Structure 1
Amino acid sequence: MQRRHFSTALLACALPAARAQEGAFTIVAPFPPGGPVDTLARMLSSGLAALHQRPAIVDNRTGANGNIGIEAVKRAKPDGRTLLVVPQGNLTINPTLMPQLGYSVEGDFAPVASLARTANVIAVNPAVPAKTIGELIALAKSKPGSIGYATPGVGSSLHLAGELFAQQAGIDLLHVAYKGTPPGLTDVIGGVVPMIIGNLPTLLPHIQNGKLRALAVTDAQRAPELPGVPTLAEAGVKGVALSSWYGVLAPKATPAPVLARLQRDIRQIFDDPANKAQLQKTGLAVWIVEGPKFGELIRQETASWAPVIQSRRIAAQ
Structure 2
Amino acid sequence: MHSIPAITRLLGCLLLAAAGTVTAQAAARDTIRVLVGFPAGGAVDIVARAFADQLRQSSGTTVVVENRPGAGGMIAIDSMLAAPASGQIVEVIPSSQITLAPLVTKAIKYDPLTDLVALGSLAEFGFGIATGPATKETTMAGYKDWANAHPDKSNFGFPGVGTPQQFIGVELGKQLHISYTPIAYKGGANSVIDVIGGQIATLVTTEQLLIPYQKQGKLHTLLITSKERNPMLPGVPTAIEVGLPDLDERGWVGLFIKSGTPAKLVTQWRAAVEKVVSNPKYAATMRNLGYGVPAKQPEDFAKKLASERATWQKRVKASGFVATN
Question: TM over 0.5: same fold?
Answer: yes
Q: Is the 8 A contact 1:29 1:59 kept in 2?
A: yes
State the Cα distance separating 1:144 from its structure 2 match. Answer: 3.1
Deviates more, 1:21-30 or 1:63-72: 21-30
Aligned to 2:192: 185
Aligned to 2:51: 44
Distance 2:120 2:203 in 1: 29
2:112 is aligned, of 105, 117, 121, to: 105
Deviates more, 1:46-55 or 1:155-164: 46-55
Q: Are 1:196 and 2:203 counterparts?
A: yes
Structure 2 gaps, min length 5? 1-26
Aligned to 2:177: 170
Aligned amino acid, residue 185 of structure 2: Y
State the Cα distance separating 1:82 from its structure 2 match. Answer: 0.8
Distance 1:235 1:143 in 2: 22
Instruction: Name segments (4+ residues, structure 1) moved above 6 Å.
Output: none
Q: Secondary structure at the match of 2:247?
A: coil
Q: Secondary structure at the match of 2:179?
A: coil
Kindly name which structure, 1 or 2, has the bigger radius of gyration based on alpha carbons: 1
State the Cα distance separating 1:291 from its structure 2 match. Answer: 7.0
Q: Are 1:303 and 2:310 counterparts?
A: yes
Structure 1 pair 276/302, CA: closer, same or farther in 2 (3 Å)?
A: same
Q: Deviations over 1:10-64 (max 9, x none)?
A: xxxxxxxxxx999311111111122221111112222333344332111111111
Alignment of 1:133-144 (within 5 A): 133-144=140-151
Distance 1:73 1:172 in 2: 43
Q: Are 1:222 and 2:229 counterparts?
A: yes
Structure 1 gaps, min length 5? 1-19
Q: Are 1:274 and 2:281 counterparts?
A: yes
Work out the percentage of aligned pairs sharing the same amino acid.
Answer: 28
State the Cα distance separating 1:162 from its structure 2 match. Answer: 1.1
Q: Deviations over 1:268-310 (max 9, x none)?
A: 1121111111110111011166476222111101001112111
Q: Secondary structure at the match of 1:121?
A: strand
Q: Secondary structure at the match of 1:211?
A: coil
State the Cα distance separating 1:67 from its structure 2 match. Answer: 1.1
Aligned to 2:66: 59
Structure 1 pair 231/273, CA: closer, same or farther in 2 (3 Å)?
A: same
Q: Are 1:116 and 2:123 counterparts?
A: yes
Aligned to 2:164: 157
2:239 is aligned, of 217, 225, 232, to: 232
Q: Secondary structure at the match of 2:170?
A: helix
Deviates more, 1:285-294 or 1:258-267: 285-294
Q: TM-score, normalised by structure 2?
A: 0.86
What count of residue pairs does the alignment treat as equivalent?
298
Structure 1 pair 250/217, CA: closer, same or farther in 2 (3 Å)?
A: same
Aligned to 2:78: 71
Deviates more, 1:241-250 or 1:184-193: 184-193
Deviates more, 1:256-265 or 1:43-52: 43-52
Aligned to 2:257: 250
Q: Is the 8 A contact 2:155 2:201 kept in 1?
A: yes
User: CA-atom RMSD, angstroms?
Assistant: 2.0
Aligned to 1:283: 290
